[in-house]
Chains A and B, each alone.
Chain A
Amino acid sequence: MSSLGLGIDCGGTYTDAVVYDLDDRRVLAAAKYPTSHHDLVSCIDGVMAKLPGDLLSAVQLASVSTTLATNSIVEGKGGRACLILIGYADDMRVNGYGSRVARARGGHDCRGDQADELDEAAVTEAVRQHRDWADAFAISSYFSVRNPEHELRAASIVAAETGKPIVCGHELSMHLDAPKRATTAAINARLIPLIADLIASAQTVLAARSIKAPLMIVRGDGTLMGVETAGQRPVETILSGPAASVVGALALTGRADGVVIDVGGTTTDIAGVEGGLPRINQAGATVGGLATQVEAIDIRTMGLGGDSLIRFARNGKLEIGPRRVLPIGMLPGAEGVTETLQALPSSGLLGRAHELMSFWTVPPGKKLSGTPEGNGWVQRAGQVPLSYLGLKDEAADPDALKAVHRLEQGEELLLAALTPTDIFNYTGETAVGDSELSRCAVETAAALLKIEPAELAAMVKADCREIIVHELLAHLLGVNGGSRGLLDAWSRGDSVQGVRLRLNLETDILAVGAPAGVFLLPVAERLGCGCITPPFMEVANAVGAVAGVVSHTEEVIIRRRIDGRYTAHASDGRYDFDELADATDLARSKASELAAAIASATGAGEVELHEHMDEFTATSHWDQPVVLERTVRVRAVGRPRLG
């Protein structure tokens, strides 16, 4: 009997789940459930209810990808944290992400030598001052990645004073940049109470369905971690969902390279693949404008999806996205909507067509909660969608349209308008909701624009294709902002000073997401590459959540000192040697030992070790060649331990 895994992806629009055969690498069952924000647990419960019970009871591994960290950071949410900075210059600016910041003398220099004595009394005082208020403590010491001693000593002081969770900067990142490391530690500390809630609730839901499998969470690099690790390092779940989507695309297609494009309702994500793994953003993930040191997937997100609003500019051009609306084809009460659309005047209104075709309805699961006036509108919209012209002619209330706009901003009402989904429904490439309603909307819009419906459909499809092609090339080529001259010229089919570009993508597009095929096949054709649309691509994120591996990379850097000796800097301390060979032996065994131990603690079963060494040798006219630096990197990788 094969081992079964349960993968769950809590996305912005839908929560997806699959039961996946971990040995044969195939999907046995899949389900989708609408995501209700702020209640991830009911989503997990809801989606599991749609999966066959006999499969669920045989599950030996459960894994979740979550937007919890990303969304919390964007919204500035989290528990209360105290951030202790050791050896940071007084005028050094640190974004503490809303935590209370205390400073103490101490820290090291770039060689890992002590720069200043650790002021233990100051650390003790900070803990005593904040321990009743704070949910967690973050500690970051200057150059702790070269010598973690002061962070470890401060952590033991905090532990002696309080039982609250403690996170040290050097545990989260091996990279230099003290301000960024402090921010990352502070975010992590504030996320600890939130992830603890999520884990506890998810375990309750699993237990209620008699699933005793170990629970894992997807990291932003696409690997998995057990809940013990996730509880300590929640910041590493940044970009968990997009990373799972890449891992899922690889699992579903059986490929080890390509470009993964995930087309959703609101956004489209592009991510490269390297050696069977998502490509990582080495500079660290930036979320909600906050730069962190979290090693997460290198992703480009654009505001284009099946539910993007299509606007008509006065010059006859289209603007698609980034706003997300409800496709007209998804509106309830088709009869009234069709009537309103057909009654629209058909001339002299170019530039306002998208407004004329606006409707408002009630978001799914919406309960009355606003003012009596607002509730009145919500109740009306619940019976039959409100239309733009209807509101404009509302005799009793000249400000009706304004009132409805306000309710829309407060997410009390949902705007419905023409979207790419309606266009694809019209062409027959998809059948989402009511295709006849979409057809009516496309015909009305075309009449307003004085063009044929087929022509409008072709324009929208061409625009969607060009937007994705542009973003894809810009991402792969590392082109940003204004320097897209040649790409633009290529896109228009122009030449620049007699130079004409011919572009080909030599790697295939791996499609993810329900509408991915209709969006991406034209993109592939334009770029002369293949586009793989595997079965179950609409739940690739959930597949990626369970198909991932557990991995840990440990790096030991050996540096020559000015006195000619060598120092090995490992994450658990530093070691001095007279000879490079001895330092190298220590570095290799240390890196292997730490990588294997941490991967195992993170939830791996048996691990394989992959060692990689780099060095820099200096040569000159008057010195003998000498090795100045040698880096030993060991990656321990294994499948998750099953229950």
Chain B
Amino acid sequence: MSSNLASLLADLEEERTLAIVKESLAAGTDPLTLVEGLREGMSLVGERFESKEYFLSDLIMSAEIFNEAIALIQPHLKSDGASTRSAVVLGTVKGDIHDIGKNIVGSLLRCEGYDVYDLGVDVEPSAFVDKVRETGAALVAMSGLLTLAFDAMKETVESFIEAGLRDKVKVIIGGGPVNQAVVDYTGADDYGKDATSALKLAGHYLN
């Protein structure tokens, strides 16, 4: 079932993917199994994009299907009670408006049961800090596709230092050109090269 779902999503079969999700939910399938299938599908899409089989437009398409499917599954996921879950503050940094990657990361984190505070795009450094102070989140995930975003990421990390909160949060970054050198430059803790690795990092830093 889940591998079937994965290949449908990977083939960008929007209607059939959503239909299978609906049918499975009606038949009482564990919603987490469906999430797992969708995640596998997204990593297949990632591989095809890497191997230049897929274009950026395909990536955007897959993200849309993924988000639609997740929206169907979300009401069926049992809540473990918000208080026991870790909070994550998420956003695309100041000066950048790319949000596909950020949205996928957000969806995956929500599926895992994290409380995700998505600040949207073009987010001021001080907004990240304010949100962490308000929610007590222990993880900040910043996204950006442009090299311009590195500066904004660094400024955001610096804003946490100035606020005296740097040792209270872990900061992870992601987006096209991010690598270890960018982690060093920005003062972040780590980076993820795709949505799945962002999820792994969250698990690593929050558990």
Residues of A within 8 A of B (CB): 89, 91-93, 109-111, 115, 142-143, 176-180, 559-560, 562, 616, 618-621, 623, 626, 628-629
Q: A142-B162, A618-B147 are in contact. Are A109 and B125 (CB under 8 A)?
A: yes
Q: Is the CB of A109 within 8 A of B126?
A: yes
User: Which 4 A/B pairs are nearest by Cβ-Cβ distance?
Assistant: A179-B164, A620-B177, A618-B147, A176-B161
17 A-B pairs with C-beta separation under 8 A = A92-B164, A109-B126, A110-B159, A110-B162, A143-B162, A177-B161, A177-B164, A560-B151, A562-B95, A618-B177, A618-B182, A620-B146, A620-B147, A620-B176, A628-B151, A628-B154, A628-B185
Q: Is the CB of B94 within 8 A of A176?
A: no
B-chain residues with CB within 8 Å of residue A629 when the two chains form the complex? 151, 154, 185
Is B158 part of the contact surface with A, judged by Cβ < 8 Å?
yes
B-chain residues with CB within 8 Å of residue A92 when the two chains form the complex? 163-164
From the candidates B126, B150, B166, name the one contacting A628 in the complex (CB within 8 A).
B150
A28 CB to closest chain B CB (Å) equals 48
Is B19 part of the contact surface with A, judged by Cβ < 8 Å?
no
B85 CB to closest chain A CB (Å) equals 24
A-chain residues with CB within 8 Å of residue B182 when the two chains form the complex? 618
From the candidates B146, B148, B155, B164, name the one contacting A110 in the complex (CB within 8 A).
B155
| Bound-state Cα–Cα, A246 to B16, Å | 74
A-chain residues with CB within 8 Å of residue B176 when the two chains form the complex? 620-621
Is B133 part of the contact surface with A, judged by Cβ < 8 Å?
yes
Q: A562-B94, A620-B176 are in contact. Are A111 and B155 (CB under 8 A)?
A: yes
From the candidates A177, A179, A559, A623, name the one contacting B151 in the complex (CB within 8 A).
A559
Residue of B whose beta carbon sits closest to that of A181: B162
A-chain residues with CB within 8 Å of residue B156 when the two chains form the complex? 110
Residue of A whose beta carbon sits closest to that of B156: A110
Instruction: Name which of B126, B155, B162, B176 has the most chain A CB atoms within 10 A of its CB.
Output: B162
B-chain residues with CB within 8 Å of residue A93 when the two chains form the complex? 164
A-chain residues with CB within 8 Å of residue B94 when the two chains form the complex? 562
B-chain residues with CB within 8 Å of residue A618 when the two chains form the complex? 147, 150, 177, 182
| Bound-state Cα–Cα, A110 to B161, Å | 10
A577 CB to closest chain B CB (Å) equals 16
Interface 1/0 per residue, B136-170 and A, CB below 8 Å: 00000000001110111011101101111010000
B171 CB to closest chain A CB (Å) equals 14
A-chain residues with CB within 8 Å of residue B163 when the two chains form the complex? 89, 92, 178-179
Instruction: Name which of A176, A180, A621 has the most chain B CB atoms within 10 A of its CB.
Output: A176
| Bound-state Cα–Cα, A226 to B126, Å | 40
A-chain residues with CB within 8 Å of residue B150 when the two chains form the complex? 616, 618, 628
Residue of B whose beta carbon sits closest to that of A626: B147
A-chain residues with CB within 8 Å of residue B152 when the two chains form the complex? 562
B-chain residues with CB within 8 Å of residue A142 when the two chains form the complex? 162
Instruction: Name which of A89, A109, A620 has the most chain B CB atoms within 10 A of its CB.
Output: A620
Beyond the given A178-B162, A618-B182, A623-B147, please list 11 additional residue pairs across the A-B interface where CB-CB is below 8 A: A109-B125, A110-B158, A110-B162, A115-B126, A562-B95, A562-B152, A619-B147, A620-B146, A620-B147, A621-B176, A628-B185
| Bound-state Cα–Cα, A559 to B186, Å | 13
A-chain residues with CB within 8 Å of residue B181 when the two chains form the complex? 616
| Bound-state Cα–Cα, A619 to B178, Å | 10
| Bound-state Cα–Cα, A67 to B166, Å | 31
Q: A109-B126, A616-B185 are in contact. Are A177 and B162 (CB under 8 A)?
A: yes
A568 CB to closest chain B CB (Å) equals 15
| Bound-state Cα–Cα, A110 to B133, Å | 17
Q: A621-B176, A629-B185 are in contact. Are A176 and B151 (CB under 8 A)?
A: no
A-chain residues with CB within 8 Å of residue B161 when the two chains form the complex? 176-177
Q: Is the CB of A89 within 8 A of B133?
A: yes
Residue of A whose beta carbon sits closest to that of B148: A562
B-chain residues with CB within 8 Å of residue A89 when the two chains form the complex? 133, 163
Instruction: Name which of B126, B147, B163 has the most chain A CB atoms within 10 A of its CB.
Output: B147
B6 CB to closest chain A CB (Å) equals 28
A490 CB to closest chain B CB (Å) equals 30
A-chain residues with CB within 8 Å of residue B155 when the two chains form the complex? 110-111
| Bound-state Cα–Cα, A620 to B182, Å | 11
B-chain residues with CB within 8 Å of residue A109 when the two chains form the complex? 125-126, 159
B-chain residues with CB within 8 Å of residue A620 when the two chains form the complex? 146-147, 176-177
| Bound-state Cα–Cα, A180 to B156, Å | 18
| Bound-state Cα–Cα, A225 to B155, Å | 34
B-chain residues with CB within 8 Å of residue A115 when the two chains form the complex? 126
B-chain residues with CB within 8 Å of residue A626 when the two chains form the complex? 147
A597 CB to closest chain B CB (Å) equals 27
Residue of A whose beta carbon sits closest to that of B182: A618
Residue of B whose beta carbon sits closest to that of A107: B162
A354 CB to closest chain B CB (Å) equals 41
| Bound-state Cα–Cα, A562 to B176, Å | 19
B98 CB to closest chain A CB (Å) equals 12
A565 CB to closest chain B CB (Å) equals 12
B50 CB to closest chain A CB (Å) equals 13
| Bound-state Cα–Cα, A490 to B94, Å | 51
| Bound-state Cα–Cα, A40 to B176, Å | 62
| Bound-state Cα–Cα, A91 to B163, Å | 11
Q: Is the CB of A176 within 8 A of B147?
A: no
A-chain residues with CB within 8 Å of residue B159 when the two chains form the complex? 109-110
A-chain residues with CB within 8 Å of residue B158 when the two chains form the complex? 110, 176
B-chain residues with CB within 8 Å of residue A180 when the two chains form the complex? 164
Q: Is the CB of B133 within 8 A of A628?
A: no
| Bound-state Cα–Cα, A142 to B162, Å | 8
A-chain residues with CB within 8 Å of residue B125 when the two chains form the complex? 109-110
A142 CB to closest chain B CB (Å) equals 7
Q: Which of B165-207 contact A (CB under 8 A)?
A: 166, 176-177, 181-182, 185
| Bound-state Cα–Cα, A111 to B155, Å | 8
A290 CB to closest chain B CB (Å) equals 14
